[in-house]
Amino acid sequence: MKLTEHDVLLVIDVQNDFLPGGALAVPEGDAVIAPINRLAARLPHVILTQDWHPSGHASFHASHADKSPYETTLLHYGEQVLWPEHCVQGTHGAALAEGLETDRAELVIRKGYHPGIDSYSAFLEADGRTRTGLAGYLAERGLTRLFLAGLATDFCVLWSALDAREAGLEVVVVEDAVRGIDLDGSLARAWDAMERAGVGRIDSAALA
């Protein structure tokens, strides 16, 4: 596949808490690092995201009485999955994975820092109205095609991909550079939803 100056590698949430041994470990989450590092050397632009919650965040099960991890609750904007406490600002778990090549990253966008709103998407928080600023940043810089990699396929990668399509961007998920959590079939549903939204899929070898 031919790359141009308008292409960006968007690396979603490759942070210690999402790797094996982390607070919200994604199965094989560490397997994304090697392909991402190869892509980071190859794509003309690289942007990273970092899930970045204050302690006591509304998406943590411990912030709600009588709730267990992976149950849902109703927040002011709608249904919210309740997660183990993860990616708390400034902690080792929130740090980008050791071994992730970050030198060429031009922007690190943090999300999920409003105490009462989650943000799976790199573009739009879970209330459906609070924007991170990424769409404006990409537009100002003329960056129009995203290659998506990172964690997790069925949450932050999925929502970022769908919102990027809403923002009018071309989106391609790099299949071997993502891994999913898969809660009750969420991984298969995520691939379906992305296909319906016109999100492309490639293997990182196609960009080698």
Query: Of 30, 87, 118, 156, which residue is the catalytic one?
Result: 156
Shortest Cβ distance from residue 110 to Zn ion (Å)? 11
Query: Of 111, 118, 154, 163, which residue is the catalytic one?
Result: 111
51 scored as a contact of Zn ion (CB under 5 A): yes
Identity of the residue, 90 or 168, whose beta carbon is nearer to ligand VGL in the bound complex: 90
The contact set with ligand VGL (CB under 6 A) reads 13, 18, 51, 83, 120, 151-152, 155-156
Identity of the residue, 42 or 127, whose beta carbon is nearer to ligand VGL in the bound complex: 127
Determine whether 13 is an active site residue.
yes
- Looking at residue 63, the DSSP 8-state letter turns out to be G
Identity of the residue, 29 or 112, whose beta carbon is nearer to Zn ion in the bound complex: 112
The H or E element that residue 33 is part of is helix 33-42
* Contact predicate 166/29, CB 8 Å: no
| Residue nearest to Zn ion according to CB distances in the complex | 51
Beta-strand pair 72-75/78-81: antiparallel
Identity of the residue, 7 or 13, whose beta carbon is nearer to ligand VGL in the bound complex: 13
Identity of the residue, 45 or 86, whose beta carbon is nearer to Zn ion in the bound complex: 86
Shortest Cβ distance from residue 60 to Zn ion (Å)? 9
Q: Which two tokens stand for residue 38?
A: 């190869």
Shortest Cβ distance from residue 63 to Zn ion (Å)? 12
17 scored as a contact of Zn ion (CB under 5 A): no
Angle value at C-alpha 114, between 109 and 115, nearest 5 degrees: 140
Q: What is the number of helices (H) and of strands (E) in the chain? A: 4, 8
Partner whose footprint covers residue 93, from ligand VGL, Zn ion, none (CB < 5 to 8 Å by kind): none
| Binding residue count for Zn ion, defined by CB under 5 A | 2
Determine whether 156 is an active site residue.
yes
* Contact predicate 46/8, CB 8 Å: yes
Query: Of 13, 51, 118, 154, which residue is the catalytic one?
Result: 13
Report the 10 Å Cβ neighbour count for 106.
Answer: 13
Shortest Cβ distance from residue 7 to ligand VGL (Å)? 23
Binding site for Zn ion (CB under 5 A): 51, 112
Residues carrying an active site annotation: 13, 111, 156
